[in-house]
Amino acid sequence: MHGVVQKQLKKVEKQEKKYLKTKKKTLLQQKTEDMTNRIEQKIPQKLKVMLEEAFYKGFLIVFEKGTAVIEKTYDKEKLIWQHQFQDRRFQQKGKTKQFRQLEAEAKKANAVNMAVTAAEGAALGFLGIGLPDIPIFLGVILKGIYQTALHFGFEYSTKKEQIYILRLIRSAMAEQEQKKQCNELIEKTEKEINDNMAVPYDFEQEVKKTAQTLAQAMLVAKFIQGLPVVGVTGCGYNVFVYRKILKYCHRKYKKRYLLIKQMENKVK
C-alpha cells in the first residue's frame, strides 16, 4: 500500500502545481474577459451588493437548517459503510485498483449533482429568476462536497469542517493571484484539524468572504440569468462553477486521505 500512496500523492501534487501555476491567457480567454468586464461595468452596484447578501444568507440558511434536508437526499450511513469497506480492501490488498474503486465512488455522485444543477438553473433562468435559486444552488454544491467528504472518510458537520468547506469553496473560485495564498490556508487548516488543534476563525467573516468570492465569480452569469428567456444561458455557468468547486474539493479530500495513510504507514 505504501507504494500506491506515494504514487498517488505525487500525482495529486503534480496536479496542484499545474493548478497554481500562472497560465498565459489565450486570445479567446482574453476576449471573454474583456467582454465580461464590459458587462460588469453596466451591472448596478445595488445588484452586486444584493448578490453578495444573497450568497451570505444562502450559506447561513444551508449550514443552519439545510444540512438535515440535504442528508435526506442520500444515505449517509451507506456512504460511511462504503468508504469503510473500500478503505479496508485498500489496506488489505494495497493495490492501485482498490484505491481507484474508493475514489470512483465520489465521482459517481457528482455526475448526478451536475445534472440537478443544470436543471434547476435552466428552469429558474427561463422564468427570469436569478437570486432566489441561490440557496438551492448552494445546497447542491454542499451536497456534492458532503458526499465527497464521506467517500474519503471525513465528517462535515463540525464547525471546524464547515470552516474547511468554506475555505475550499473560496480557494476553488479564487483569482489566479490569490490561489497560492488560499491553497496554503487550506493546507494549514487540514493540519490543524488532523492534529486535533484549534482552528482560529470568525464564522461570519468566513461566510462573508466566501459569499463575496462566489458573488464576484458569478456576477455576470446571475445578471444574465435574471433576464427572462435569455437567462437560460446563465444556467450553464452554474454547472461550470459546480464542476470547478467539486474538482478542487475532490483533489483536496483525496490528498488529505492519502496523507493520513502515509502517516499511518510510518507509524507501523
Alpha carbon of residue 170 to chain centroid: 8
Mean pLDDT along residues 139-149: 90
pLDDT over 90 at 161, yes or no: yes
Report d(CA 100, CA 90) in Å as an integer: 9
pTM (2 d.p.): 0.84
In single-letter form, the type of residue at position 115 comes to: A
**Looking at residue 224, what is its pLDDT?**
47
Alpha carbon of residue 191 to chain centroid: 19
* Closest residue by Cα to residue 248 from 171, 152, 189: 171
H-type helices in 45-130, by residue range? Answer: 45-61, 67-71, 76-93, 96-126
Report d(CA 46, CA 264) in Å as an integer: 52
**Looking at residue 129, what is its pLDDT?**
35
Selected residue with higher pLDDT from 113 and 137: 137
Among 19-28, 97-106, 221-230, which is the least confidently predicted range? 221-230
What rounded mean pLDDT belongs to the chain?
A: 79
**Looking at residue 182, what is its pLDDT?**
92
Mean pLDDT along residues 133-151: 87
**Residues 255, 156, 244, 43, Cα dihedral to 10°:** -140
**Looking at residue 186, what is its pLDDT?**
94
**Looking at residue 228, what is its pLDDT?**
41
Tell me the pLDDT tens digit for each residue of 201-224.
899 999 999 998 888 877 755 554
Selected residue with higher pLDDT from 87 and 124: 87
pLDDT over 60 at 238, yes or no: yes
Report d(CA 115, CA 128) in Å as an integer: 20
**Looking at residue 227, what is its pLDDT?**
40
**Looking at residue 31, what is its pLDDT?**
58
**Looking at residue 33, what is its pLDDT?**
59
Selected residue with higher pLDDT from 53 and 22: 53
Show the cell assigned to 202: 470568525
Instruction: Check if the beta carbon of residue 165 is closer than 8 Å to that of residue 177.
Output: no
3-state secondary structure of 153: coil
